[in-house]
Structure 1
Amino acid sequence: MQFLYHSKAGVEFLDIEGEAFTYLFKVRRHRKGEIVALRNMEDGYLYTYKIDTVTRKDAVLTLVHKEHKEILPKRFVHLLWGVIEPKVIEKTLPSLNELGVGRISFVYCARSQKNFKIRLDKLQKILINSCQQCGRSSLMEIEVIDSFEEALQKYNDTVLIDFSENYLQCGESIQRVFIGPEGGFSDEERKIATQIKGLDTPLILRSETAAVAVSSVLML
C-alpha cells in the first residue's frame, strides 16, 4: 500500500473507522505510534499521520507532515468502451488504472447487452483500492453514455479501434479511442465513424484484452 485514501485527509486530527479502520489495523497490522501516509486524491498532497489512539472500532490520527506530491500519467488518454459484462470490467479496471488511463466512458453500443448495469460507485471503490496500491494520486474519471451516436456526438475526435490495415502506432498523438463490446461494432456504427485504426495482430482479441492492449500502446 502506497497510501490510504480518506476523503478528509488533510485535517489536523482524523478519525478512522469502518472499512478504513479494518484495512489499516486488521489487514495492514499497524499499531499505535506508527506513521502512515494518506491522500484525499483531490489536492495532490501526501499527508503523513501518526497513530495516536486505537480502540476496538476506531482510531485517531494526528497530522505531522504534508507534501505536495502528485503522481500522474505522462499523458491523457480517454478510453470509450462498449459495455460488456460488469464482472469483466471490474476485473480489468485496475490494469487500466495502473497504465494511467485518464477517463473511461462506458458506452451502450448496438451489441452491448442492455441488461448489463454499470455501477459507478462500485467501480470508483475499485479505482481507489487500485490507486492505494500503485500510488496514482488522482482518480480516473468514469461515466456512462447511453448510445454509440451520443458518444461520438460528445467526443467527435474519437478513433474507433476495429479491423483496419491503418495500424495504431506507439506514441501517436491520439487522445480518444473507442473499443467495441463483445462482437465488435455493428455495420451501422462503422458507417458513422470518421476515423478507424486497427491493431497490428492477426489474432481476434476479446474486448477487455483490446482495451488493455490499446491503452498500453498509447500510454507506454
Structure 2
Amino acid sequence: MALIYIFDDEAGEPALHVKGEMHKYLIKVRRHKEGDEISFRSRENIEILHKYKIDVVEPRSAELSLLSSEQLEVKSEKPLHVGWCIIDANSIEKVLPSLCEIGVERVSFIACDRSQKNTKLDFKRFQRIMEASMQQCGRSTYIEFDIYKNVEEFITKFPDVNVFDFCDETPKDYGAIKRVLIGCEGGFSPKERELLSSLKRFRLNTPMVLRSESAVVAVASKIVL
C-alpha cells in the first residue's frame, strides 16, 4: 500500500536529503522520479503536513525541496475510548493498525480476572506499529494508551462506560456510545459481572461468539464508522 505521508524528523526544513531504506522505498519500490511530490510529517509537529518535490535522484540518495506546509489534522470525528481487558500481546498488535485506521482515540488496557497473566505491553512497540498504520491511512493523531489494574478501578473512573457482553440489548444508535468496555477471552468473571451489573450492556446482532480482538474491531467499526 502506498503511504499517504512519511514520517521524517527533518520534515519542515527547506530541503530533505533522502537515503538508505527511505530512498529504496521511494525510488525503487514506489518508483518516484524527479518532479514527483511527496508529503511528510515530523513527530514533533505532527499536525503540520509538508509537501516536497523531488529535485534530484541519485543511485543512493535523493534531494527534495519544500513546496508548502499547512496545518492539517486528520482524525475521526467520533472520539471513542475503548476499555480492553488484556489479552495476548501478539493478538493486540495484530489489530492495532485496524483500530488506528478506524479512528479509535484511546485504549485503556485492563488487567481482568481472566486476562493472561504476566502479559507485558510494550507501548513503544505499539507506537511503531501505529506510525506504520498512520502513514498508510493518513491519520495524524496517535492512539492514547494507559493501564488499569482491574475492572473496578476502570469503571470507578469511567462510570459512563457501555459494556459489550452477552445480553439481549442491541443499541438503536451505536454512534451515541463514547466509551466501551470489552472483555478478554472467556468473558468477565462472576465477580466482574456483579460490578458491571448496573451499567448499560449491549451486543452486536450476530449469533456467533467473537474473539476479544474480533470484538474490539467490530464494535469500534460499528460505533465510529
Q: Settle same-fold status: TM greater than 0.5.
A: yes
Alignment equivalent of 1:67, drawn from 67, 70, 81: 70
The amino acid of 2:161's aligned partner reads T
SS in 2 for 1:204: coil
Decide which of 135, 139, 161 is 2:138's aligned counterpart.
135
Alpha-carbon separation, structure 2, partners of 1:101 and 1:187: 29
CA contact (8 A) 1:47 1:63 kept: yes
Who is 2:105 aligned against?
102
Residues 49, 71 of structure 2: 8 Å contact kept: yes
1:4-56 deviation per Cα after TM superposition (whole angstroms, max 9, x unaligned): 12244223234545654454345334345532111236442221113355667
**3-state DSSP class of the match of 2:50?**
strand
Q: Distance in 1 between matches of 2:99 and 2:91?
A: 12
Which amino acid in the other structure matches residue 192 of structure 2?
E
Alpha-carbon RMSD: 2.4
Instruction: Tell me the SS of whatever aligns to 1:105.
Output: strand
Deviates more, 1:173-182 or 1:1-10: 1-10
Residue of structure 1 in register with 2:6 after alignment: 4
2:199 is aligned to: 195
Q: Secondary structure at the match of 2:176?
A: coil
> In the superposition, relative to structure 1, how do residues 30 and 77 fare at CA in structure 2: closer, same or farther (>3 Å)?
same
CA contact (8 A) 2:175 2:224 kept: no
What corresponds to 2:84 in structure 1? 81
Q: Any stretches of 5+ residues in structure 1 without a counterpart?
A: none
Point out where structure 2 has 5 or more consecutive residues left out of the alignment.
Answer: none
Task: Please state how far the C-alpha of 1:81 moved relative to its aligned partner.
Answer: 0.9
Following TM superposition, by how much is the alpha carbon of 1:196 offset from its aligned partner in structure 2, in angstroms?
Answer: 3.4
Q: Choose which of 19, 33, 36 in structure 2 pairs with 1:34.
A: 36
Task: State the percentage of identical aligned residues.
Answer: 40
User: How many equivalent residue pairs?
Assistant: 220
Match of 1:218 in 2: 223
Deviation at 1:102, TM superposition (A): 0.9
- Is 2:162–2:202's contact at 8 Å kept on the other side of the alignment? no
Q: Deviation per CA, 1:119-144: give whole Å up to 9, x if none.
A: 11111111111111111122222223
1:90 CA drift (Å)? 1.2
SS at match of 1:76: coil
